[in-house]
Structure 1
Amino acid sequence: MNIEEVTVRQVAMKLKQPFQTANGLVVTRDTLIIEVYDHNGHVGYGECVAFADPFYTPETTTTAWDMFKHFILPVIQKAQIDHPNQVHRTLSGIQGHQMAKAGIETAIWDLYAKQHNKPLKEIIGGTYNHVESGVVLSLTDDLTSQVKTYMKKGYKRYKLKLQKGQERETVEQAKEFLGDWPIMFDGNGIYEPEDMLHLTKLDDLNLHMIEQPFRQDDFYYHHQLKKEMNTRISLDESVTSEHDAFQAIELDAADTINVKLGRVGGYEVAKMIHEYAKVASMPLWCGGMLETGIGRAHNVILASLEQFKLPGDLSESERYWEHDIIKEPFKVKDGLVEVPSKPGIGVQVDQKRLEKLTVRQFDFDMKTTQQL
C-alpha cells in the first residue's frame, strides 16, 4: 500500500452544549485524528474515539497517544501491509487498546479505498445508500425543546440517557412529545442483579430497546433479563471482539448488538460480527462516541452493511458541533443520512480548521527507524 507517513494529532472541540451520562460529563471533546499518507499524496483519515477520562473504557486519549507512538505504529512499520484487512492480525500481539487500533485501521481502509478510487462503502460490501438516523439525548438536554426540533427532521429513534430510578418518569416525559416514535434508554452498565425486578416492571413502556443494563463483563444477567422481558435487550460495552459477539449470540444474552468501530477495534472485527449476526438473523445498529465528521463518516459507512437494520446513533453534525472539521457536514433529511459515495470515506476534511484545533501532534515516518 506504500504507506509513507502517519500523523497523529490530538484535537479539542467544544461541544455546543455539555453531554452528560450516568458515568461522565463531556464539555470539550478531546479526540485523536489519524492521517495516513502514501507516496502519491493520498491521505486516509481515521479517528481514535477514546475519551480524555476513563469513564467509558480504560482507554484514554493519553494511553492511545502512547500506544501509537511506542507500539502500534512501530509494529505496522515492520509489517508488510498490502490490504487493510491485514491490520487486525498484525496488531493482534498487542492486548486491548481497541480504540487506538481502530483509529489506525480505519485510516488505512480510507487510504486503500482512495488509492483504488472507490467509495469505502463499496470496498467493505455496504448495501444501503441511506441509513436511518437516531439521536441521543443526554442528562443535560432539554427534552421539551430538543425533541420537537429532532422530530421535524424525522429522526427515526430517540435514545435517552437517564438516572436509575427515574426511567419511567423520563420515558413518559419524552412520550408526551414523541408518542409512538421508537424510544430506548441506555443503562450504561449501572444496574445490579438486584435491579432485575425493577427493570422487568418497565416492560409496559413498550420501549424500542434497553441498552447495556448490566456491567461490561456480564452475559449471564443479560441472558436472564432477556428471558423475562418482551423489550429488546441490546449489548454495547460487553462486546469488544468477534468472540464476545459470538458468546452473546450463543448464550442468548441479547436481541441486538450496538457495534462501534472504536470499541471492537475497526472494520475487520465489525465485519466478522456482522457475519455472525447475519447467520443468527440478529439485527445490528451502529453506536456513536461524539465523533467528529471523520468518525461519523466511518460510522455511516459501517451502517451501510446489510445486517444494520435498526436506526443507529447517526445524527447530523450540527447535533454536537457549531463547526465540524469536514467541509460538508452530515445532514438528516426525512430521518435519513446519505452514505458517502465519493472515494474513501467520501468527505473533504477542512485541514485549516483541523490544524487550528490541534493541541499536539507527532509525525511517524514509516520508511525509516528515525522518527520525525
Structure 2
Amino acid sequence: MQIKRIDRYCVRLPLKQPFETSYGRISEKAFDLMLVTDEKGNQGIGELVPFEQPDYIEETLDTARIVIEKHLIPLLHNRWITHPFETADYFDQVKGNYMAKSSLETAIWDLYARRQGKSLKSYFKDTRAKVPVGVSLGIQTDLTKLLEQVTDYVNQGYQRIKLKIRPGYDLAPIAVIRQQFPDLLLMVDANSAYTIADLPHLKKLDKYQLALIEQPFAANDFLDHARLQKELETAICLDENIRTLKDCELAFALGSCRSINLKIPRVGGISEALRITEFCRDKDLLVWLGGMFESGVGRALNLQFASQQQLTFPGDISASDRYYYEDILSEPIAIQNGMIQVPDGLGIGVSLAEETLLKYGAYENLYT
C-alpha cells in the first residue's frame, strides 16, 4: 500500500476532575489524531499522546508535531509498504521521538488491518475477547475523599488500583486503602519522585503487600533501581526508563525491576511493543499495558494489544467515562464486571463521533 494523504485533528478534551501526579497537575488532555489514507481510500487512525510539558518524558506535543511534519512524513513519501513492521525501519534514522513515531506507525497498523478486512488483534497470538482492567488515581490529599474514590472504582469492578505517590504522600494513603481493602490488588506509582537517599523510607512499603512499586527513581537510574530492587521484597516496575527493547535487556541484566509498564507510544509503536512482550515472556518479566490519558482511539488500540493472553495483569485501560465527559467515539468504551470488551470491528475496531470531534478539535491536512 502507498500513503497518499495524512490529516490531523488537534483535540482538547476537558477532564471530569483534575489529575495530579508527582510531576504536575492537568485539567484537560490535548492530543492529536493522525488520519492516514492509502491509494485505495482506506484510512487508519493513530493518536499522538505526549503531554504539553516535558515533565513525564522529554517529548512534548509541540515537539512531536514538528518531528512528524518535518522528519517523519517525508520518510513516507512515495513509499510502498508491504507490512507495518517496515514503518519502524523507515523511521529508524530519526533518533528518539518515539511518541511521534507511534502516532503514525499505529495508524498504519490500523490502516493495514482495515485494508485486509481484519481486526488488529488478529495479528497477535493467543488473544481473548475481554481484558481485565485497572484504574489509576491521582494524588488526593483528602484521605476521606481518596477512600471514597477507591470504593467507587472497586464497586465499578476495576480489578486493580494504582495510586500516585510522592514524598510526604505515600505511607498514609496506602495504609488507609489497605486497611479498608486488605485483599485489593494495589500498586503505587512515583513517577520518578524519589532518589536512592529515600531507600530506607521506600523499604517501609514492603509491609503493605503492594503488587508493584512503579518508577520510584529517575528515568536513567537503572543502577539505583537495581540497588533498590535488591533491598525490596515488592517488585519494582519500570515505566519512563523503557523506550526500546534494549532498555528492557539492560534492566533485566542489571536486575533493575521485575515488571515492565509497556506504553505503546513510549516505545515507538506496535512493532517494538511486540518485541518487548516477547522478551518479557522469555525472561519471566511481568509486562502490562499503561496509559497516557488516551481518547477512545488510544484506548481501543491498547485493548487490541492487551487482548494477548500473556498480558494477565490488569492494565491502565479504564472506561471512557473514567476521565472524560464525552469521548470521540461513536460507541464509548465501557467496563462490565471488571472487564472491557475488545472492539470487534476492523482495525482498532472503533469509529469516530464526528460531531464530538469537531466540538473539541480542529482539522488540518498535513500531506497530500
For normalisation by structure 1, the TM-score amounts to 0.95
Of 134, 148, 151 in structure 2, the residue corresponding to residue 148 of structure 1 is 151
Q: Does 1:134 align with 2:109?
A: no
Question: What is aligned with 1:368?
Answer: none
The AA in structure 2 aligned to 1:252 is G
Matched residue, 2:346: 343
Cα offset, 1:166, TM superposition:
2.6
| Higher mean C-alpha deviation, range 31-40 or range 354-363 | 354-363
> How far off is 1:329 after superposition?
1.0
Asked if residue 218 in structure 1 is aligned to residue 249 in structure 2, the reply is no
Which residue of the partner structure matches residue 282 of structure 2?
Answer: 279
1:240 equivalent in structure 2: 243
The sequence identity of aligned pairs, in percent, is: 37
Cα deviation for residue 232 of structure 1 reads: 1.2
- Aligned mates of 2:290, 2:238 — CA distance in 1: 11
Stretch of structure 1 that moved more, 245-254 or 314-323: 245-254
Specify whether residues 287 and 294 from structure 1 end up closer, same or farther in structure 2 by C-alpha distance, changes over 3 A only: same
Q: Counterpart of 1:216 in 2: which secondary structure?
A: coil
Counterpart secondary structure, 1:202: helix
- The answer to whether 1:158 aligns with 2:161 is yes
- Structure 1 counterpart of 2:270, from 260, 267, 270: 267
> Once the 2 structures are TM-superposed, how far is the Cα of residue 127 of structure 1 from its aligned partner?
1.3
Tell me which of 253, 261, 284 is aligned to 1:258. 261
Query: Which residue identity lines up with residue 186 of structure 1 in the other structure?
Result: D
User: In structure 2, what is the equivalent of residue 186 of structure 1?
Assistant: 189
**Is the deviation greater in 121-130 or in 219-228?**
121-130
Shift of 1:43: 1.4
Separation in structure 1 between the aligned mates of residue 62 and residue 182 of structure 2, nearest angstrom: 43
* Local SS of the residue matching 1:118: coil
The DSSP-based 3-state class of the residue aligned with 1:334 is coil
The equivalent residue for 1:370 is none
| Counterpart for residue 19 of structure 1 | 19
Instruction: Give CA-to-partner distance per residue, 1:12-37, whole Å, 9 cap, x none.
Output: 11111111101011111110111111
In structure 1, the residue matched to 2:326 is 323
Give TM-score, length-normalised by structure 2.
0.96
Q: Does the 8 A contact of 1:99 with 1:265 survive in 2?
A: yes
* 1:207 counterpart = 2:210: yes
**Range moving further from structure 2, 203-212 or 356-365:** 356-365
Which moves more between the two structures, 276-285 or 74-83?
A: 74-83
1:289 pairs with 271, 292, 300, which one?
292
Query: Structure 1 regions of 5+ residues with no counterpart?
Result: 366-372
Separation in structure 2 between the aligned mates of residue 78 and residue 59 of structure 1, nearest angstrom: 28
**CA contact 1:126–1:301 (8 Å) conserved in 2:** no
Give the corresponding residue for 1:121: 121
In 1, the alpha carbon distance for the partners of 2:309 and 2:276 equals: 12
In 1, the alpha carbon distance for the partners of 2:41 and 2:78 equals: 22
Residue aligned with 2:357, SS? helix
User: What are the within-5 Å matches in structure 2 for residues 55-94 of structure 1?
Assistant: 55-94=55-94
> Equivalents in 2 of 1:310, 1:144: separation in Å?
23
CA RMSD across the alignment: 1.4
In 2, the alpha carbon distance for the partners of 1:57 and 1:359 equals: 26
Give the Å deviation of 1:311. 1.0
- SS class of match (1:34): strand
Does the CA contact (< 8 Å) of 1:277 and 1:307 recur in 2?
no
Moved more, 36-45 or 129-138: 36-45
Q: Larger deviation: 84-93 or 333-342?
A: 333-342
User: Matched residues in 2 for 1:337 and 1:330: separation?
Assistant: 7
Distance 1:307 1:221 in 2: 28
Change (3 A) 1:264 1:60: same
Question: What letter matches 1:43 in structure 2?
Answer: Q
- Bigger drift between 203-212 and 74-83 goes to 74-83
* Distance (Å, rounded) in 2 between the aligned partners of 1:356 and 1:363: 21
SS for the counterpart of 2:14 is strand
Displacement of 1:360 in angstroms is 5.5
d(CA) in 2 for partners of 1:44, 1:79: 17
